[in-house]
Every structure is written in C-alpha cells, then in structure tokens.
Structure 1
Amino acid sequence: MPTPRPLALALLAALAASLASPQGLAAKKKPVAHKKAAAVVSASCDDLYAEANKGWLAANPMPAAGAISALGQLSARAEQQQRDLLDAFMRTPHGTVQKLLGDFWASGLDEAAIEADGAAPVAPLLQRIDAIRSSKDIAPAVAALHQVGIPVLFGFNADVDLRDLDRHLGYFTQGGLGLPDPAYYTRSDADTQALMARYADYMRKILALTGVPAKDIEAQTALALDVEKRIAAAERPLADLRDPRRNFAPVATAGLGKQYRNLQLDAFLKAQGVSDDTVSMADPALFAKLDALVGTLKPAQWQAYLRWRVGDAMAPYLSKSWRDAAFDFRGKVLLGQTEPAPRWKQVLDAINLAAGPMLGREYAAAYLPDANRKQAEQIATQVRDALKQEIERGELLQGAAKAEALKKLDGLKVEIGAPRRDLDYTVQPMGRGSFGSNMLIASTWRHRQEMRRIGKGNAERRWDVLPQQPALAYDLAHNRLIVTAAMLQAPVLDPAMPLGNQYGAFGALVGHELSHAVDGLGRHVDADGNVRDWWTPEDAARWEAMANRVGRFYGGLPYPGLAGTKVDGTLTRDEDVADLAGVTLARAALTAAKPELDAQTEKGFYTGWAQLWAQQVTADEARLRARQDVRAPGLWRANAPAMQQPGFGAAFGCKAGAPMLVKDAERIQPY
C-alpha cells in the first residue's frame, strides 16, 4: 500500500484584485472612461468549507460505502509510517526493542510458518485446561489466563482511583462473555435468536479446531454456551455501566479470599502481581454468583467454557482456518465487514494491541522532530493562556467558580509526543517461527505492565492512548493535554504549514480540548484533583443558557446529503460549544503571537480550521451519523464556528448578507 501523500495545506491563492474594463475610444476620441474596479469577494464568504477543501474534494470522490476524511487519511498515513518502521526493524534492528518488534512483525507476515504452526501456540493453555479435575482447579486456571491477556469469567483492570486521581486501583468488573452485550443471551426476538444461532455455529467451529472430537461438539458447545448464559444473567445492563461513579466501590483485599472461596480472589491478585490493600468491586452480588457457579458446575463444563474462550481470543492470530472462522462471525455478522483487512494491517493491529507501547517509543523517536514538539508546546501554551484571559474577563463563570477555573488552568500540564514515563522492556525473546506464541509473549508483557500501575503514584505519567495513533485529548483525571506524536503532521501541524494555518488547525483543536477543563465536563473535577462539582447553580444556569443557544443555532442547519434533515443540535451541543471555544481561543492566541496580522495569515487561520474537516460521507453513513454522532458533520464543524467569529467577514472581505455572516444578535460568545 503506497504512503498517502500529505494534504496540500498552503493558503488558497487570492482571486485577482480586479478585472480590467475593455478599453475603447469614443467616436470623437474623448478621454477613455475607466470603470471603477469592483472588489472581488472571496468564495469563502459563501462557503468556507467548500472553498478551503475544493482541491481535496475533487481528489477524493465519494466512496462506495462509509466515509473518507482528511483526518482518516492522517490515521492511514500513521499506519503506513508504523509499517515502514517495522519493515526496517525486521531487516536491520538496532537494540532490544527493535529486535523484538522486528521478529514479531516478521512472524506475523510469514503465513506459511503460521499455517505450519497450526494450533501449537495454544496447546499449553489447552493442556492446562484439560488438567482441571475439581472445582479448586478452576480459579488457578482462570488466573493463569488473565496473566496472558485472556480475561475469562470476569474482568480485572487498572483504572484511576476516584478518591485519589494520582493512583490506580484494580477494578473487578463484569466480563467473560463472547458477545458484547449480556442482553443478547436473554432476548427472545427473532433477530437476536438468529444471531445466537450464528454464534453457536461459530463456537462449534472453534471447539473443533481446539481438538474436540466431532461426536462431542454439540455437547461441548451446549456446555460452554450455558456458562455464558449464566454469567450474562448475573451481569448488569450496559446502560448501568456508563457512569464511572456507579462502578467505583473500594473494598479491602484482605477479606476477598474468604468471601469468595471458590474464586480464590486473594490468590488471583497475587498471580497478577497486585499487592495493593484495596480494589474496586462495584457488583459484589455478581461475584457471589460467579463464586457459586464455580462451586456447583462440574469441572467438565468449565473445561468446555475455558477451551472456547481461549480459542476465540486467539483465533485471529493462528492459521487460516481459525482466522476464517473468527472473521465469518466477528467480522461479517457483528461488524458488517465484507472482507478481512490486508494481512499487514491485521499484524499491525495485533502488535499495537499486545506491544503498542514498544512501537510507540520507536515511532516518536523516528517521526517527531524536536522542532515540531517545541512548536506544538508553544501554541498549546498560548491557547491555554488565551483561555485563562477569556475566563478572567468573561462573565460565564463568576466568583469562586472563576477562581477555581483559573487555578485549574494554572496547573494544567501539556504533554507532547509520548508519555514521559518509560516502561520495563524485559520481555521473553521472540523468534520468527510462531506468531501466535509471540502474541502470547507480548500480551503477557502488556498485562504485567498494566498491573504495575495499581497502587503506585504514577498515574499521571501514563497514557491511555498510543503515541503512534493520532490523538489530541484533555485528560480530565490528571488535568493535562495529551498530544500524540502521530497527530503532529498535516493537516494538523506541520512546519511547512503557514503560521495562520497552524493556529487554525492545531491551535483550535487544542482550544477545543482545553475548553473541557472548565466546561460542563470539567466542572466535576477541581484544581486539586478532587471529584466534586465546583460550579454554583448560577454558573450552571449561565452555561446552560449559552450552550442551549449554540444547540439551537446548529439545530437550524441542514444536514449535508440528507434532504429535509437538520443537524440534531441537542445531540451535538456540547461538542459544538467546544468547537466554538476552540476557534475563539486559537484566534486570540494567534493575535497575541502576531499582533499585526496580515491578510494572508488571517485567511490561513480559517482555512487551516476548515481543512481539518474535509470528508465525503455516503447517504447511508450520513443517516447513521445524524442519529448517533455527538459531533456535527464536517461542513458545519468548519463553517459554523467561523460564522460566529467577528473577524471572519473582515478577513475575507465579505459583504453584508453573505451566507457565512450571521447577524450580531445571533452571535454567541462561549465565555
């Protein structure tokens, strides 16, 4: 696959200043009468999005299905960059990490070796399961599978301690199912029953591949499915899991072994390397039921369930028969995919899943020049300062809330490129002969690194996103802006971009994210990291009034490509407010950095913003997004914030009544 060419981000050339009148002499050779040159109005006054992106839209026609976008192309470019790195590590690695990654990559691309390997990578896991003889053997088998990154029966992960955001707790959660929603196992409608029939067929295929004799397939499938149904019946609906506060319930670890004797949770924690004195268990009733199941179901039934879960988890990384079975159900049925991703993409996804931080370290070193990092830090800091000034002189937040917001912004950190904290790269050596075995080696390492987060005061130095994946986000728990290395390239930020474009693109994205520090989301964590609402009812009322105005404004805009459909301003409101804030803050930061703005720089600011949102979206995809997407479509992400800017019309010489100009009474200030 060729490397996608970067988007052209130079400013659009200005139209000719005037058109010369045809010269002609009067019959009696009177002096030539010249008409006054008419000022040319930029096409951006009619539609900034269309004018800024006309080259991109012409070069990227509507796809047959789904959508394509400028930011999607950025993600594709980052993937190609990772591919290029791994190819280099495969040929000539420098250092232990590059050697590990190169061998991992080579083993995944060697399909002949993968075919010859067959089910060998999972054989030790299956042998461990076959050795289960009594109920007391089940819990150690469950713990061992968690250790290699295959969570069965329940979930256990590291996450932020809501009592102290500078540390992580271990969270015992529901899990252990092969389907994404426990409701699938209890619904009786025809569509769900059809899906469950396909699911059972997939289970049969996987169990057969694990070595279950044909005569036992039906019985083993029924046993495994019965375990999942029992687990699902004890779990909460997904809607109940959306509020993190409802899933946070600290309990002492000291009594878990006695309270859940069959699950042996004390031994489980020890096996994961966790020695903290507290964990979170928000649903003790679920674990009581799981504990009872371990004590009452026969070991043979647990063997069927565990064998199935291992086979399902590892199927994408084994030989073709395994991969085909997994794709036929998970790809086609659950995700609606028509064909598998190219082999290189499958292997890259596997490496990012199991060894992503390793690759991220190398990616940042290769693709983030120090000059880019410094420019990003400078712009982000200027945007943060602009936000402080807007809060200080604005009337949206007042009194104690204003003081708290300013204190929070004073403490806000900006982290660019990759996490500051390095990891322990002590990993069992990988060869090139077994991709499945390498996957287990890497996922065991990744799980161990996650478990080391628990109980330590280093939460603020870890990221939940990989440096090689384009991302720019505000981390509410630790009051910091995170910008990955992969994000710092066109159309977001590149040294070749004119200064105005840099602020309009990267600066406005930074402003969008930083606005969340002090908005309806950020109000729930104060400057000291305490989880509390630091707004007064009056602050909240002013915010709601402003945000509802934004919602009504967007709600009056037509949805692109869908005749008769408007943007759902209620659905997109909060992100629309952040877009408006982002452009406002970035414009202020640019003015502070360059007080004497020339016309080209000012136009480039708005052009840079608009070029972020270039996209081609099919009608089917647009209908889906109109119902579900919390962000406005690209046309209005580009145009609506620019329409609200007082300086936009002057920058492009727009005349009164131009489509991109709004009346003063319709103009909304976010602060």
Structure 2
Amino acid sequence: MNNKITLTAASVALTLGLLGCSESTTDTKAKASQDAVQSALVSGIDLNNIDRTVKAQDDFYYHVNGKWLEKTQIPADKSNYGSFTQLYDESQKALKKVLEGAKANAQAQPQSDEYKLGAFYASYMDETAREELGLSPLKTYLAEINAVTSKSELPALMANILTKGGKNPFAWYVNNDAKSSSEHALYLYQSGLGLPDRDYYLEDTEKYSKLRTDYIEYIEQVFSRLGEKDAKQVANRIFAVEKALAEVMWTRVQSRDATKTYNKMTMAELNQLMPDFDLSAYFQALGLDLKELVVSQPSYLEGLSAIYTETSLETWQQYLTFHFVNNHASLLHKDMVELKFNFFGKRLRGLEEQAPTWKKAVDASNEVLGELLGKIYVKQYFPPEAKAKMEQLVANLIKGFDQAISELEWMTAETKVAAKEKLNKFTPKIGYPDKWKDYSALEINRDDLLGNYVRYNQWAYQDMLDKIGKPVDRSEWFMTPQTVNAYYNPVNNEIVFPAAILQPPFFNLAADDAVNYGAIGAVIGHELGHGFDDQGAKYDGDGNLRNWWSESDLAQFETRGKKLVEQFDQFKPFEDANVNGEFTLGENIGDLGGLTVAYKAYQLSLGEEKAPVIDGYTGEQRFFMGWAQIWRRKYREEELRNRLVTDSHAPSHYRVIGVLPNMPEFYEAFDVKESDKMYLAPQQRVKIW
C-alpha cells in the first residue's frame, strides 16, 4: 500500500516538473530514462503522515508525523503507540500462529521444543483451570515463607524465593567482569521496590502522594484476598519498609555511572557492610562459595543493613509474601488479574483495558521460551537478503564512524588511535544467534502455569550461576530475534540487531538507501555511539572498564556532554516535569553521534553519484525524514510521566527536535534560517562525534 502511494506521488511530481520544460529530443529521451529509474525507486517515506501546516524548520517531528499523530488513537490496551509498537503487534501475530500450531500438535514428544511451546501457551490460555484453582497454586510457596521461625533463616529464604520469581531488597546477576571481561563476576545491586522508582516514595507532590495511597490500598487488597485480618496494618508496614529502602537508594543518574558502580569486594568486606545479614547463608542457599563479587551501590547495602536489623521477622515475611503474590498475580484467576491490572495497568500507566488473553500468553511464552520461538520466527519471517543488506549497512556505518573520528577537531591524535582501535573491535550481530539456548533442563507442563513460571525462574538463575568460573561465551544474545529493539553491550563491545526490527519503517529492502540510512542506519549508529557515550566510552575495545582517554580529551568530551545535558533539560512535556538531560545523556549522545555517522555513511555509499529526487525530496531530506518517522509515537500522560522518571531515553518528540538542531547537515538539507524555531546559533550547537 505504501509503495503504491509513494509511486503515485512521484509520478504526479514528475508530471508537474515536465510541463514547463522545453527540451531537445535527445535531452527528452535521457530525462525520460532517468525518470523511469527514479520512479521505480520507493522513497520509504509515509507521505500521508506529513503535516504541511507545520514547517519542517520549526518542528521537524510534527512536520513529518503530524497527520499520523492527529489520526492515530492509542489502543485501549496500550500505554503508548508508535513505530515500535506497530511492529511489536505484527510480531505478536506471527508468534501466535507458531504457538497455536504447537498447542494443537498432539504428536509432539513430551518435553520436546515443540511440546514446551504448546504446553506453556496452553497453560496460560486455560482460563477455566485458573478460575477453578483460584489462589491454591500459591500455597506451597507462601507456606515456605511462613515456615521460617527465626531471622537467622531469612537469608536462605530470601535467596530461594528470589530464584522462584519473588523479590528481595537486593538482587544479583552474573555477567562479564567489567575489569576482566573474559571472566564472569556476580554483581549485587539495589532492589526491592514495588513502585517504579525511589521518587515515587520520596517526592512531595500531590500526584505522588495519591499514588502512594493507592499503592498501599492495593497491598491491603492483596492481603485481604489472602485472608489476612489486619490487612491495612500489614500494607502500611510493607510500604514503610519500601520507603525506607527508597531513602537509601542511589538515584538512576548515580546508578548509570559505570565507574562508581564497580566496587569489587571480598566476602569479608561485604560482611562489614551488612554485619547482621548472614550473606554466607544466602549464597550457600544458591550453591555458591564466593570469594569476591562486585557491589553496585555499597552505601545502599549499609543502609539496608540497618533496615534489615530494625524490621521484624514477621514484617519481612509479609514483604516477601506480597511481592511473590504480586509478581505472579497475572498468572492466577480473574479476580487477582484484575486487581493487579487496576493499579499497575490503569493507575500507573493509564491503560483503559487489559490486552486479550492470547496477547498476554504470547508475551509470557516469549519471556519464558524466547529463543525456542525465535528459532521458528527467523525461519518463517526473516529473509536472508535482509541480513546481507544489514551487514553492508553496518560495514558502511563503521567506515563512517572511522571517518568521523579522523575529522574530529577537538580530539588529539593519540586518543583518536585508541578510539579507532575500539571501533575496529566492535562485533556486529544481526538477525539471530549462531548458537541457540538449550532449554532441555526446563520442565514445562500443560496444567501448571505458576509452576512453569517458577521452574523457568529457577532455570534462568541457575543458567547464570553455571557461568561462574567459566570463560565468557561471547556468542550469547540478550534479546530474542523477535524483539523490536537493538542494543550495545559494553563488556562484549558488540552491537546487536534482532530480526524483528529489520522491517519498515526501520529497514525497507524495497526503498532507496536514503531512508534506510536515516532509519536503521541511524539505529546502527546509535548503538555504535553507545560505545562512545558518557559511560560506554569508559570501556576499551575488549570490553574492559579502562580509561583510554587523554586528560585533555576527556575534559573536552565531558564539556560537550554538559552542553547536551543543558539542551535536553529545557524540554518540558508538562508544566511540572521536564526531561532529565543528565539521565538521558547516554542515549542522546547515541542519537546525535549515530545520526551524524549515519549521514556520513550515506554520503560514502553514494560515491560520486548524486542521490535521486524521489517524491519531491532530495536524498539528504529523505535521510532526515527517515529518522523522524521511526520515532512517531503517542503516550498516555501516566506513561509519559513514568518514563520521564524511569526511562533513560528522551521522549520520541525530543529525540528528533533535540538532535537535529545540532547538525549542520540538517540546516543545509532544509535551508534552516535564523528565524526558524529549530535554529541554534553555531556556537550553541554540540558536536561530539
């Protein structure tokens, strides 16, 4: 449909262009031949979305996406809607077909991959069984919590309940040791809240105050359903624990700092932070005999130690009970599903209604058996030519980044050499893993939804624990192929692009290169840019946390970053809330650097050729339009407010109008003048890469 619209618009533009011309026969034939080639190309731009009442030079985001924003309604079961969610919806439909087929396959061998997919999906879809079971699936796990009779047993209980899908006041994961990236380390970090962030507990505003009241009421309702007579008092005690945790937590800005959050400690040193908590018992319950580990927020553990000591055994049991039930409420009967949705869905995110059960079942299957689904998804929905084209794009982006480093005026030759060394060590991963996860040890049963989830959590935690003491497997993926996203992993120095993002509007095999470089090219550049953002730049090409910058270059880099912070701090989606430029700095550097490098790569791809004009737009204009249209998105107010606090990405609007004013290439492409709203004086513009 889009192709037909685009070609029709191109034909109209061509006709209007020819009417006023007088040409020789030879010129006419040459022009006709050129026009035929150009009309065969698809721009990839959704022309129907353009709002021509908004000048491109005043608000490029609304100019490119205005009509779409005007006519699009956020679906009732979503908190936001845009390019990502549109592709996510398509991915869900594809996965549903796979799962329905597996569910119907009565010939599948027990515990085979096909059986597990069908059995898990069936267990989620069986709402009749869930109604009959009510709260009974929880009994075994809640009894385990209530069986503890002394505080000395709490550490082991916390460890066990965490691996079954519960929550602790701290959490852990296993990953590459950031200072020895070929080895594994266990990382301990702050956790334990039910609300999205510490600010929800600490900010003294009417909105947050009302949310806190509603959250306490939700906890009370959970305990009322569990038969607790003093549910209100229990809820207040649990909230008091969480508020105390929030008061000693690091902010999200503080927790972004890769250097400050790397604190390797011996067990003896860790015990000094938490003298009253038996860490040996905790780790023994996990089957670990650790000599050292990395602590992300040491002062939090000190604060937690005091809270742990002051809080009674009974309150800790109630805390663990609530979070286990809350984490699994969506797997229970309708009453519990609705209770959780009414607070976390409606109240916190502004959703109007729940997603259909099949969508939730697909999401759950994706979470638990992601790579089993991914293996089938790739075979059915990811063409080999897409991977080949992406490999070419990535190679060109790396060339573009290399050129960008060479041209930097503010960086010394010594640091440029180190930057290029890191760039040359980037590992791109495209589409899907070369080696798939092995799910053979995970037991899935058709009639045990909660048990399936518990066993999955135990399997996933054990999978991490099994890595300790073994070499890092750098072939592992941390997103499934059916995920509409991409990522940079600093400790592996890798950029990863799952299959599902490699489709329009991000990646269009049928389109002229301009839109692809502006869309997926800039996404590639963004992920490359994370290797050189305010935190990624602290890692070397081997993934080790090591300073490779000269002192003067680092000072220049940080100064330029501060200017970008100041620019984004000025964006205010609401009168009482603005973008946090410091919190979003890494993503904003990724966007600015990524788009700059993608533009260079696009120019390199043209060689000596001039980009054709398609749909009335030059290649340079289509490049920037490609960037703008991938960020079209609408948010519910509750969701946007939540993201301002919890999401390290700026809202979509500002990812366009915040980055482009810093790029001279944008001014040239759209003839931006000093009188235009997106104009920034040259001395105010930020150039990092």
Does TM, normalized by the shorter one, top 0.5?
yes
Q: d(CA) in 1 for partners of 2:169 and 2:383?
A: 45
1:337 pairs with 2:351? yes
Partner-residue secondary structure (3-state), 2:389: helix
1:81 pairs with 2:94? yes
Decide which moves more: 583-592 or 227-236: 227-236
Alignment of 1:365-514 (within 5 A): 365-458=379-472, 460-514=474-528
- CA shift for structure 1 position 329: 2.5
Conserved in 2, the CA contact under 8 Å of 1:52 and 1:611?
Answer: no
- CA shift for structure 1 position 485: 1.5
Conserved in 1, the CA contact under 8 Å of 2:200 and 2:212?
Answer: yes
Decide which moves more: 140-149 or 399-408: 140-149
- CA shift for structure 1 position 282: 5.0
Partner-residue secondary structure (3-state), 2:284: helix
Conserved in 2, the CA contact under 8 Å of 1:71 and 1:612?
Answer: no
Q: d(CA) in 1 for partners of 2:5 and 2:185?
A: 45
Conserved in 1, the CA contact under 8 Å of 2:165 and 2:327?
Answer: no
Taking a change above 3 Å as real, the CA distance of residues 372 and 658 of structure 1, as seen in their structure-2 partners, is: farther
Q: d(CA) in 2 for partners of 1:627 and 1:112?
A: 40
Taking a change above 3 Å as real, the CA distance of residues 9 and 359 of structure 1, as seen in their structure-2 partners, is: farther
Which runs of 5 or more structure 2 residues have no equivalent in the other structure? 23-46
Deviation per CA, 1:137-170: give whole Å up to 9, x if none.
Answer: 3333222212212122432223442322333322
Conserved in 1, the CA contact under 8 Å of 2:592 and 2:659?
Answer: no
**Amino acid corresponding to residue 343 of structure 1 in structure 2:** T
Alignment of 1:301-340 (within 5 A): 301-340=315-354
**Amino acid corresponding to residue 434 of structure 1 in structure 2:** D
Conserved in 1, the CA contact under 8 Å of 2:560 and 2:688?
Answer: yes
Conserved in 2, the CA contact under 8 Å of 1:207 and 1:307?
Answer: no
Alignment of 1:564-643 (within 5 A): 578-595=590-607, 596-600=609-613, 603-604=618-619, 606-607=621-622, 609-614=624-629, 615=632, 617=634, 630=650, 632-633=653-654, 636=657, 640=661
**Amino acid corresponding to residue 650 of structure 2 in structure 1:** V
Q: In the alignment, what sits opposite 2:32?
A: none
Q: d(CA) in 1 for partners of 2:253 and 2:522?
A: 33
Taking a change above 3 Å as real, the CA distance of residues 374 and 116 of structure 1, as seen in their structure-2 partners, is: same
Taking a change above 3 Å as real, the CA distance of residues 124 and 429 of structure 1, as seen in their structure-2 partners, is: same
1:127 pairs with 2:140? no
Q: d(CA) in 1 for partners of 2:114 and 2:146?
A: 37
**Amino acid corresponding to residue 165 of structure 1 in structure 2:** S
- CA shift for structure 1 position 110: 1.7
Q: d(CA) in 1 for partners of 2:150 and 2:578?
A: 61
Q: In the alignment, what sits opposite 2:665?
A: 644
Q: In the alignment, what sits opposite 2:17?
A: 18
Conserved in 1, the CA contact under 8 Å of 2:155 and 2:278?
Answer: yes
Conserved in 2, the CA contact under 8 Å of 1:135 and 1:295?
Answer: no
Deviation per CA, 1:250-286: give whole Å up to 9, x if none.
Answer: 2224787899686442243233344543212356676
Decide which moves more: 140-149 or 267-276: 267-276
Alignment of 1:164-243 (within 5 A): 164-181=180-197, 194-212=210-228, 214=229, 216-218=230-232, 220-221=234-235, 224-225=238-239, 227-228=241-242, 231=245, 235=249, 240-243=254-257
Q: What is the root-mean-square deviation in Å for CA atoms of aligned residues?
A: 4.7
Q: In the alignment, what sits opposite 1:29?
A: none
- CA shift for structure 1 position 7: 8.6
**Amino acid corresponding to residue 112 of structure 1 in structure 2:** T
Conserved in 1, the CA contact under 8 Å of 2:428 and 2:495?
Answer: yes
Q: d(CA) in 2 for partners of 1:19 and 1:186?
A: 66
- CA shift for structure 1 position 506: 1.7
Alignment of 1:14-163 (within 5 A): 15=13, 16-18=15-17, 20=19, 47=56, 60=72, 68-92=81-105, 96-163=112-179
Conserved in 2, the CA contact under 8 Å of 1:317 and 1:436?
Answer: yes
Q: d(CA) in 2 for partners of 1:425 and 1:86?
A: 16
Q: d(CA) in 2 for partners of 1:345 and 1:325?
A: 19
Partner-residue secondary structure (3-state), 2:185: strand
Taking a change above 3 Å as real, the CA distance of residues 417 and 289 of structure 1, as seen in their structure-2 partners, is: same
Conserved in 2, the CA contact under 8 Å of 1:274 and 1:454?
Answer: no
Taking a change above 3 Å as real, the CA distance of residues 397 and 431 of structure 1, as seen in their structure-2 partners, is: same
Taking a change above 3 Å as real, the CA distance of residues 209 and 668 of structure 1, as seen in their structure-2 partners, is: closer
Taking a change above 3 Å as real, the CA distance of residues 354 and 585 of structure 1, as seen in their structure-2 partners, is: same
Conserved in 2, the CA contact under 8 Å of 1:491 and 1:612?
Answer: no
**Amino acid corresponding to residue 452 of structure 2 in structure 1:** N
Conserved in 2, the CA contact under 8 Å of 1:74 and 1:491?
Answer: no
- Relative to the length of structure 1, the TM-score reads 0.79
Q: d(CA) in 1 for partners of 2:496 and 2:463?
A: 20
Q: d(CA) in 1 for partners of 2:680 and 2:318?
A: 68
- CA shift for structure 1 position 401: 0.6
Q: Percent identity?
A: 24
**Amino acid corresponding to residue 166 of structure 2 in structure 1:** I
Q: d(CA) in 2 for partners of 1:289 and 1:404?
A: 40
- CA shift for structure 1 position 6: 8.0
Partner-residue secondary structure (3-state), 1:166: strand
**Amino acid corresponding to residue 13 of structure 1 in structure 2:** A
Partner-residue secondary structure (3-state), 1:245: coil
Conserved in 2, the CA contact under 8 Å of 1:613 and 1:637?
Answer: no
- CA shift for structure 1 position 483: 0.9
Decide which moves more: 425-434 or 11-20: 11-20
Which runs of 5 or more structure 1 residues have no equivalent in the other structure? 24-41
Deviation per CA, 1:447-478: give whole Å up to 9, x if none.
Answer: 22233344443264444433322122333332
Taking a change above 3 Å as real, the CA distance of residues 313 and 55 of structure 1, as seen in their structure-2 partners, is: closer
- CA shift for structure 1 position 128: 1.4
Q: d(CA) in 1 for partners of 2:64 and 2:214?
A: 47
Taking a change above 3 Å as real, the CA distance of residues 244 and 355 of structure 1, as seen in their structure-2 partners, is: farther
Taking a change above 3 Å as real, the CA distance of residues 273 and 648 of structure 1, as seen in their structure-2 partners, is: farther
How many pairs align? 640
Deviation per CA, 1:463-514: give whole Å up to 9, x if none.
Answer: 4433322122333332221111111111112322333433332223212332
Partner-residue secondary structure (3-state), 2:429: strand
**Amino acid corresponding to residue 585 of structure 1 in structure 2:** V
- CA shift for structure 1 position 526: 2.5
Q: d(CA) in 2 for partners of 1:513 and 1:294?
A: 40
Conserved in 1, the CA contact under 8 Å of 2:429 and 2:494?
Answer: yes
- CA shift for structure 1 position 318: 0.7
Partner-residue secondary structure (3-state), 2:618: helix
**Amino acid corresponding to residue 613 of structure 1 in structure 2:** A
Conserved in 2, the CA contact under 8 Å of 1:184 and 1:192?
Answer: yes
Taking a change above 3 Å as real, the CA distance of residues 120 and 582 of structure 1, as seen in their structure-2 partners, is: same
Conserved in 2, the CA contact under 8 Å of 1:117 and 1:434?
Answer: no
**Amino acid corresponding to residue 505 of structure 2 in structure 1:** P
Deviation per CA, 1:216-235: give whole Å up to 9, x if none.
Answer: 54565455556546655665
